[in-house]
């Protein structure tokens, strides 16, 4: 682990103490910031580890309008869900009817597991889905975490992802998830580290620089992202710094 990653535990603890003391003591954060409009990639199904990579990685996206979309690993899935606090249930899920050389059995098991889900919880930044008996049916990780190196420490988990952006050098981002449900990104841009906190976004995740004078905004959805900055006149408008950023692998 390089020096950049060795500083993550300290950064997370500092952010927790200075910005989110109350939130760190919470059992669960608001679903709007931790569950919805995030691409969750399947990493465990019925107690068995699942490979989260590949073009057809099994995943779910629960939109704020009550719809769920994603992939079972072969076919696309669509449907609805009902969310009340920690209670979560899925309506009848529909899927396309393609035949794949691999993944069909896993997909069938996933559909069956989702039909039994009654509750959700985030654990160290990962999504766990439970049935009525309290058994974990499936676990998911954010797509950006699944694409990079994963690390854990006391009270936090994180991952390091490298993005390639149009016309720019590779961008290194480390994501930090606190046990209370809050999320941060440590972004290295033009030789300077930026500690950014997640905020509610219309789609995907928006990270805001905790130093408002810098005014950076990092937006991600799935394995893609873009970096903006607030205009110098301090209006709500933003100017683009980096665009068409795509996760290409793990940080070094």
* Nearest CA among 238, 222, 226, 159 for reference residue 189: 226
Q: Do domains 3-27+145-250 and 31-143 have the same CATH topology?
A: yes
Q: pTM score > 0.85 for this model?
A: no
* Architecture of the structural domain at 3-27+145-250: Beta Barrel (2.40)
Looking at residue 53, its pLDDT comes to 55
Q: Is the pLDDT of residue 141 over 60?
A: yes
pLDDT digits (tens, 9 = 90+) for 172-226: 888 888 877 788 999 888 878 899 999 877 777 889 999 888 889 999 887 788 9
Domain ranges of the chain: 3-27+145-250, 31-143
Coil, strand or helix at 124: coil
pLDDT digits (tens, 9 = 90+) for 44-75: 999 888 765 555 688 999 988 899 998 888 88
Q: Is the pLDDT of residue 15 over 50?
A: no
> Which helix (DSSP H) or strand (DSSP E) does residue 79 occupy?
strand 76-84
CATH 2.40.128.270 fits 31-143, yes or no: yes
- Reported as a pLDDT band with limits 50, 70 and 90, residue 23 is very low
* Contacts (Cβ under 8 Å, ≥6 apart) of 191: none
Which percentage of the chain shows pLDDT scores above 70? 77
């Amino acid at each position: 682990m390089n020096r950049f990653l060795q500083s993550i535990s300290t950064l997370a603890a500092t952010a927790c103490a200075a910005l989110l003391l109350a939130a760190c003591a919470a059992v669960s954060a608001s679903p709007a910031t931790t569950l919805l409009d995030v691409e969750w990639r399947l990493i465990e199904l019925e107690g068995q580890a699942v490979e989260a990579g590949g073009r057809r990685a099994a995943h779910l996206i629960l939109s704020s309008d009550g719809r769920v979309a994603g992939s079972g690993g072969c076919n696309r899935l669509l449907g609805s869900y009902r969310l009340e606090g920690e209670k979560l249930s899925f309506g009848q899920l529909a899927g396309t009817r393609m035949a794949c050389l691999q993944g069909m059995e896993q997909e069938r098991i996933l559909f069956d597991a989702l039909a039994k889900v009654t509750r959700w919880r985030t654990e160290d930044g990962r999504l766990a889905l439970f049935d009525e008996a309290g058994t974990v049916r499936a676990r998911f990780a954010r797509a950006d975490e699944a694409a990079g190196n994963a690390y854990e420490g006391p009270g936090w988990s994180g991952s390091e992802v490298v993005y390639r952006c149009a016309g720019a050098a590779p961008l290194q981002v480390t994501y930090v998830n606190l046990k209370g449900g809050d999320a941060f990104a440590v972004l290295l841009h033009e030789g300077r580290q930026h500690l950014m906190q997640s905020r509610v976004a219309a789609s995907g995740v928006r990270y805001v620089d905790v130093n408002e004078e810098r005014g950076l905004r990092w937006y991600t959805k799935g394995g893609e992202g873009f970096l903006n900055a607030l205009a110098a006149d301090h209006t709500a408008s933003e100017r683009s710094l980096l665009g068409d950023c795509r996760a290409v692998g793990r940080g070094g």
